[in-house]
Structure 1
Amino acid sequence: MLRAFLLRFFDINLNMKSSVEPLFRLINRNDLSHVVRERLERYPAPYDNHYGVVPMAPPETGISLGSTAHRLTAAIGAIAQVDHLVQSIEDPYYIGRILVRQEAVSSSSIEGTNSTLDELLGIEEQIEEDRAEALQVRDYAALLERIVPVARAHGSEIFDLDLIREIHREVMMHDPDYRDIPGELRTCVVWIGGIRNIARSTYNPAPPAHVAPTLAHCLAYLRDEGMQAMAQSVVERMAIAHAHFEAVHPFRDCNGRVGRLLMPLVMAANGHAPLYLSPYIEAHKAGYVEALKAAQQRLEWADIVGFMSDAIVGTVAELHTTRAALSALSDRWKVRRRFRAGAASTRALDLLPSYPMITANRFADMLGVSFPSATVAIEQLLDADILRERTGYRRNRVFVAHEALRIINRPFGAEPEM
């Protein structure tokens, strides 16, 4: 009865004029698979002319990948490569401080919360104004640094409702425009796309009454409570869980950031070095959106698995390129002047790629030297043009490793400028 009504409803409204055409172009029966059409449910008033999708639980069995299989194989190999590097060398770059902050900047930017890596580093050195959007990005980075080790230590059992609410609460606590209580599941209708007009949405997530139970399905999947850990690789589970979480859309806002933050947690919980994929996603946003649509509207999981596989391979390649460029830069720094072995200025050369913006106080603290000794070392690095003073102040000065920052800040996929 419901199916017949929906089909007739769509057929009638497909003939209506301009203002409602975008909705039915995106949510007519030709865009949704038969199984997804069966999951449509009317929204409560005042949106009771529209329908949301109640997502099925994520699949636990193996999924058909077809031509995507080789992309998955490449991603699994890339993960193994980074795991080996992290375990076999002392260099911490592959799980380093800057990568977390680039993830925070890019993931927030995808959602329209704009900051820059320079601004974020400046806030952490207490030289930038505490702008609300930049504070959200700072909170995202701080949360990642805190909970990735927890995921590594405790495994998949960390994925529960308390974690999801904590993530959302921490990321949104400095958003002055958020209309709900951060961390509370939504009780309202939301839609994806269309800005303020549901008639132009690109996807209608679960109705409010179905948020809690469908989110519970997602969390059970993340905890590997079914057969998925044996039937699916970590890449497949990460991709499927992300698409399912976004289909549920459990909060009024910030679902994308929470969903992308879950991805490095899945990797860490499964014993892998976390990879931060948002810079790749930001650079390939159209493909990301289309892959999510295929999963959510037609349960075609291969597209999102393929996209995330490419994101992993691309991210690992970018890591290698950046690390090689920073290593070459370090070699050039070492011959710019005669550095005394063991001196603070010499030891700083290994510190600067992780702290390319730094104050004398942090410099002294990180190297375990007195403030006067730190000041002498900084002057030596200024003389060699390894550091440049940024503020122009006589006190509370901030120093930038400008060449390192130029390598780190380049657009994703661009060759480093040396």
Structure 2
Amino acid sequence: MQRTDLCPARRKLLVPAVGYSGAFALIPPPTPRGLELKGLRDELPRARAALDLLKDLSSRFPNPDLITRTADRREAVRSSQIEGTNSGVNDLLTYEATGSDEGLPPDVLVTLNYVRALEYGLQKVRQSGVPALTCNLIKELHAHLMDGVDYNGTPGEFRKRQNWIGGGNIYNARFVPPPPGNVQACMDNLELLLRYSAAEEDQMVLSVVIRMAIAHAQFETIHPFIDGNGRVGRILLPLMLAAEGYPPVYLAGYLKDNQREYYDALAGVQLREKWSEWVKFFAIGVEAAVQESIKTTIELENILKKWTGLVAGLGLRSHSVLYKFPELMIGTPVLTAHHAKDALGISFPAASAALAALEKMGILVQPVKHQRNRTFVAKEVIDVLNRPTGG
């Protein structure tokens, strides 16, 4: 990070980087509670309207929690892949179903940890709302994310040494966040925005979309952990929405598909305070993510209706366990007999027989025959989850 890379206002915020002679770090200004945005047209109103539409539609869908479960896992895969992981949706679901990483990418646990962190955070904000969005929650998210994986620090604790973004060393870095001694104060200030409520003296109320954009950029500028900052920063986005009663909206697909623009827009804020460009990019992403969420939800609901009709057409007795499987497969599209037994509270023979029947009907397939812990895959659901963003 060179002084010439920074705008004059940000140059004034440079301080010596602790432990690196001749290198500088940047202490960001307080988290904005208002922005003068130029060059935006209708991006923000469109994003807000999209969120309101999704909120209305989600109340009408009969199985929103099932859809959310699969969406959580797709988000975990996409957000982790931004950081260079290789595990796909099918890998993650297989690992969850079998408890074994045999034959799977070695980073599948990293992706599963993302799911656990996301689900933990959603539970917290749904219980307590906006007040749950604290530095302590952020640390807890990080602890879940780094549980059981190689991490050169203390999971769930803000960093105690200098880090940097990009470049092979601090002198060639794209950006150098604040020294470790300044991290807590910066995060405490960010927490004020996360727990935002409009004050009487505020001339304008910050919409949730603007707050999400500010919070994500400021979090990535502070970079409070040695590793995992990008993932924690992206987890915060659906949590901010859920805290205010919106369905979680997942942006990782949009950010991954536009990764270069994503990083450049963030750097524009970090180095030159180009908030307008970042907020515009972010608002477009929110609208795109909502559109994808609605399309995915409709497709999965249609699959569920089709499966329910196929099972009903078998003329089974009303208490047949097979009737329970369509909803289970939407939320858990990779199954084993043991997994189905535990999820539905049925016997192992009943679960095995049902899975065999669904395979015979063409609803489930076995990727590998005759394995000890056989997995059954609802390929239609996996295909929807693997579809490229906007595809």
* Common fold: TM-score over 0.5: yes
Please tell me whether residue 377 in structure 1 is matched to residue 358 in structure 2.
no
- Asked whether the equivalents of residues 155 and 269 of structure 1 are also in contact (C-alpha less than 8 Å), the reply is yes
Cα deviation, residue 305, structure 1: 1.8
- C-alpha distance in structure 1 between counterparts of 2:195 and 2:369, whole Å: 52
Q: Percent identity?
A: 34
Cα deviation, residue 148, structure 1: 0.5
C-alpha RMSD of matched pairs (Å): 2.3
- Asked whether the equivalents of residues 121 and 137 of structure 2 are also in contact (C-alpha less than 8 Å), the reply is no
Cα deviation, residue 399, structure 1: 0.5
Q: Whose relative contact order is higher, 1 or 2, with alpha carbons under 8 Å and at least 6 apart?
A: 2
Q: How many matched pairs?
A: 384
SS at match of 1:352: helix
- Paired residue for 2:28? 55
- C-alpha distance in structure 2 between counterparts of 1:394 and 1:289, whole Å: 43
Give the alignment of 1:60-209 within 5 angstroms.
Answer: 60-61=33-34, 63-92=35-64, 96-126=68-98, 128-129=100-101, 133-176=107-150, 178-194=151-167, 196-209=168-181
Specify whether residues 219 and 132 from structure 1 end up closer, same or farther in structure 2 by C-alpha distance, changes over 3 A only.
Answer: farther
Letter in 2 for 1:198: I
Q: Deviations over 1:302-340 (max 9, x none)?
A: 222222211211112112222333344445546667333
TM-score normalised by L of structure 1: 0.85
Specify whether residues 294 and 112 from structure 1 end up closer, same or farther in structure 2 by C-alpha distance, changes over 3 A only.
Answer: same
Letter in 1 for 2:276: A
Cα deviation, residue 286, structure 1: 1.2
Letter in 2 for 1:73: P
- Paired residue for 2:335? 358
Specify whether residues 119 and 249 from structure 1 end up closer, same or farther in structure 2 by C-alpha distance, changes over 3 A only.
Answer: same
Q: Which runs of 5+ in 1 are unaligned?
A: 1-22
SS at match of 1:52: strand
- Asked whether the equivalents of residues 281 and 288 of structure 1 are also in contact (C-alpha less than 8 Å), the reply is yes
- C-alpha distance in structure 2 between counterparts of 1:320 and 1:350, whole Å: 18
Cα deviation, residue 374, structure 1: 2.5
Cα deviation, residue 146, structure 1: 2.2
Cα deviation, residue 225, structure 1: 6.3
Q: Which segment is superposed worse, 319-328 or 382-391?
A: 319-328
- Paired residue for 1:32? 6
SS at match of 1:72: helix
Specify whether residues 259 and 38 from structure 1 end up closer, same or farther in structure 2 by C-alpha distance, changes over 3 A only.
Answer: same
- C-alpha distance in structure 2 between counterparts of 1:163 and 1:108, whole Å: 20
Give the number of the structure whose alpha-carbon radius of gyration is greater: 1
Specify whether residues 211 and 385 from structure 1 end up closer, same or farther in structure 2 by C-alpha distance, changes over 3 A only.
Answer: same
Q: 2:227 aligns with which of 253, 256, 274?
A: 253
Q: 2:294 aligns with which of 320, 331, 334?
A: 320
SS at match of 2:129: helix
Q: 1:339 aligns with which of 280, 303, 314?
A: 314
- C-alpha distance in structure 2 between counterparts of 1:59 and 1:312, whole Å: 20
SS at match of 1:41: strand
